[in-house]
Every structure is written in C-alpha cells, then in structure tokens.
A and B are shown apart, each in its own frame.
Chain A
Amino acid sequence: MSNNINQALRETLRPEGLEHLEALNNLFGYEPPSDGGEECYWIALAKLGSDNSTIISSKYEGIKIGDIVLLFDSETKTCSGSSKVNSVSKVNDQIMIVLTKEVSFDTPISFETIKINSIISNDCKKIIADLEGSINA
C-alpha cells in the first residue's frame, strides 16, 4: 500500500505542491518520500535563522525534501554554497525550510557575478534581477 501511494505521489501529485501532500498526510498519516523523486533547484534570497540552517518563506511553490537550494545571503547578496532541503513544514502562513550544506564554494558567488556572466542563462539572470528588485524595493 505504501509503495502504491509513493508511486502515485511521484507520478501525479508532486508537481502540485505541498498542500496536496499535506492533505495526503492528513488522510493517511503518510510522510512524503524524501528520495527517489526528481529533485528541483531553487534560488533563495534570505537570512538564515539563528540555528544557521533554517529559512522562512512566505510562498508555497512545491519545494520538497531533497531539493537543492542556492541560498544568497540577503545582506551580502552572496552565495557560499548549495544546500539540500532537510525538512519542510508549515508554520501559520509561512513555510519553514531546514537546509543542510551540501557544496561549499571556495569563492562566494554574488548576484552581480551571475548577472554579467555569459554562461548563465537569461532566465536565471532575470530571476536574480527580480529577487534583487524585491529587496531593493
């Protein structure tokens, strides 16, 4: 039974986002699988919590355990590595994401680096510009 649900989650519900998974949780008391699915890659602009591993986001966008996040520090606008999503939970209207550092960069990468680097796609540059605009606004 558990395997069937796993399969169903992977094939149909996962892209729909966390709310569906939570509904399933309530129904079956079932924890979403943390591995075996396709991981997604995210860029975040935030300040880590005092535990140095937690960020709070106001939007549900389908982030799940096992996904990878490039976290840019909102003060320095630099990213010193990539992290794996360890857990995702809802707190009131916000979502709390606990990260574990996976890859450490020798030289932190800044927003500006990405914006002027021709190897990076225009889509990614636009995302960065939007994020930057959101903190400058």
Chain B
Amino acid sequence: MPKISVDDYNTIVKMAKMPKRVNVQPDNVKGFLDSSFVVSDSVLGQICAALNSGNHIILSGPPGTGKTTIAQAVAMAARGVEPIMTTATADWTTFDTVGGYMPDLASSSPNALTFETGIILQSMIDRRWIIVDEINRAPIDKAIGQLFTVLSGGDVLLPFRNIKTCNRLKVVSDNFFSSEDVFSRSDDWRMIATMNEYDKNALFDLSYAFMRRFAIIRIGLPDKYDEVVVNWATEAKVDASIISNLQEITASYMASREIGPAIFKSIIAYITERTKMGTDYGLYYAESLAIYLVPQLQGIDEEAVHEITTVVKKCFSGNYDAEKFFADNVYAITGYRVA
C-alpha cells in the first residue's frame, strides 16, 4: 500500500466534495478581498447573482478598478480552490484553449504523440474556475473553437482521438469527473473574463455569439472615489500639498476619462518609496504621475490634457526639473505640449 502526501490527500478529498452548484454571496467574496479594496455591494451582488444563475461573466471597466482582483476573490469564495489564471493573447488558437497533439515524452518511441489539453479544457477537467484576463486581446471565436457549445451547456466531439484508446475525445456537460476520453464540464464550472473598456475598440471584437454566453458586468469607479484616494495618501503620510493635488486631479481627470483607484494606489506607493531616497518631493511626484497617470492620457483630447496638466503643475510650484520631466512625458504620450 503506497503512502501519499497530505497535500495530495486533501486535494483529492476537496475535489470529490466540491459542490455541484454555484452559491456565492457578496459577503463571502469580501472575505477574500483586502480591507482597503473598494468595490460597491451592488457590483458584487450582480456578479454573484449572474454566477449563481448559471452564467459565465465578463468584467468590463476602466483600468485600475480591480477587475482581476475581484475575479480571483469571487472564484476563491465560490470554490475554495485557486482559479487558473491566464491572459489572452493575439495569437491564441484552439491549441492553447482546447489542446492538440504533442510529442509523447513519456513514450519510448520518438514519433509517439499524445493529446495535450489546452488551458480552458484543463480547467474544466480540474473543476477549477478559469480567469481570462484581457479577453479581447484574443481572436476569441477562432481561439475558443469547439468550446463555444460547451460554454452554453452542450456536448461536443473534439477533432482529436486518444492515441492509446483510439476513442474520439469528447467534452460533455455533466457532473461526473473527467476520464481519459471524456472530459466533463460540471455545472459549477465558470469562466470569468476581464476586459479593459478603453482597449475594446483597438483590439479584437467579441462576437455576439460569444457575448451571448456571458453576463457582462461593468466595474465602474467606486463611490466617494476621491475620499478613498485621500485616505490612502493620508495613511501613507504623503505630503499634504500632494494629497490635495491628487484630490484635484481625480476630479478633473474623471471628467475626461475614468481610471480606477489602483492607479492612484500605485502613485502613492511610489511616492512613499521614492521619498526614502531623497527630498525632491516635486520631482518624485512628477515621476509618479509620469509613470502611472500620464500613460492613461493616451487618446484624450488636447483641451483635457491642458486641464489636467494645469492642475498638476500647481503642485510643482516653480520646480523646473519636475515641470520639465512631467511636460516631456505628457508630450511623448499625447503629442501635446504642456504650456
């Protein structure tokens, strides 16, 4: 009788005892989010209801609103098992998602092949949820292939055979465990995708056929957004003039383009670290904005750029290096010179 590790034992038991239907509640999700993370109860309610009612979901929204963090927390709250994380890419094909034949390294024959599962099919086999970041970076109709039918609860025969048994491989929607020839998509398996809404026109379009299989939930900016940013900055002991400037930026910037609190959290964290290295606070502030905020200005109009830069410059108070650094970066990204 061979001995196995405690981890393997626990994994097997956990797999076997996974619930067969999804029942995730907002309060459970909050348990997997950092206490400083801000998301409205309404959004969590929408996500949980959509998942519990059998949908896969796409979380769409401006950058920095925590779409991926929310997706991970929801998956953990629902399953208690780490989800599979992946990022869609422009060269995704069914080989990446469903699978394909690969050399069989375990075989003594040099020409032997074996079917290797793709990442989405593997997540079904493992009964782990999958989070696909930036779904619109992939040509999704081509990449998902035969799994389209499976996403909506159907069974599908794959264009592959198990080399050992010669049986045609298939994916079925039931609650049994997968075997070597039959892969099961259980009722409680879900795909959560994220999509940055500012990219959606520049990348691949999602077909209506694909979107029909998902609930699309927008993760907007949290309530009392500027207060949240000020609280973070105050807690981090950021200089008072910078805090008040950040507050002004959130107000003026949001009129042109929404960006999530994570961007400001990064700015605050950067300033905290940078001020440990010296005292040129104006320059450090300019650096933090150039690194995190300015890249988000891409594509907004000249008037909006001037409005934001006018607010920002107030904080530099004649610091030539800071002003120049900021202006050069704005020009590089937007093509507009800061007056």
Contact = CB atoms under 8 A, between A and B. Distances in A.
A103 B175 CA distance: 19
Interface string A94-119: 00000000010111111011111111
Given A70-B4, A103-B17, A110 B179 contact: yes
B235 interface: no
Interface stretch (B121-129, B144-152, B269-277, B323-331): B121-129
A41 B176 contact: no
A24 interface: no
Contact of A112 (B1, B4, B9, B180): B180
Nearest to A115: B180
A79 B9 CA distance: 12
A63 B177 CA distance: 29
Interface string A118-130: 1111011001001
A82 B178 CA distance: 20
Nearest to B122: A118
Task: Kindly name the residue among A70, A119, A123, A127 whose own CB sees the greatest number of chain B CB atoms within 10 A.
Answer: A119
Contacts of B126: 117-119
Contact of B5 (A41, A61, A69): A41
Contact of B3 (A40, A116, A117, A119): A40
Interface string B8-19: 110111011100
A41 B178 contact: no
B215 interface: no
B237 interface: no
Given A42-B2, A119-B81, A109 B15 contact: yes
Given A119-B15, A119-B81, A42 B177 contact: no
Interface string A32-47: 0000000011111000
A116 B1 contact: no
B17 A123 contact: no
Interface in B80-118: 81, 117
Contacts of A81: 16
Contacts of B13: 82, 103, 105
Contact of B125 (A106, A117, A123, A130): A117
Contact of A113 (B2, B81, B179): B179
Interface residues of A, number: 37
A65 interface: no
A69 B4 CA distance: 9
A48 interface: no
Interface residues of B, number: 28
Contacts of A40: 3
A27 to B, nearest CB: 27
B291 to A, nearest CB: 37
A71 to B, nearest CB: 10
Given A82-B13, A106-B16, A118-B122, A113 B178 contact: yes
A63 B1 CA distance: 9
Contacts of B176: 107
Contacts of B175: 107
Given A43-B1, A127-B2, A114 B12 contact: yes
Contacts of B20: 106
Interface string A69-80: 110000000010
A18 interface: no
Contact of A117 (B1, B4, B5, B15): B15
B202 to A, nearest CB: 34
Contacts of A123: 4-5, 8
B7 interface: yes
Interface of B: 1-9, 11-13, 15-17, 20, 81, 117, 122, 125-126, 128, 175-180
Given A116-B179, A119-B11, 19 more contacts: A40-B3, A41-B9, A42-B1, A43-B1, A68-B9, A70-B4, A70-B9, A79-B12, A103-B13, A109-B15, A110-B177, A117-B15, A118-B122, A118-B126, A120-B8, A120-B12, A123-B4, A123-B8, A131-B2
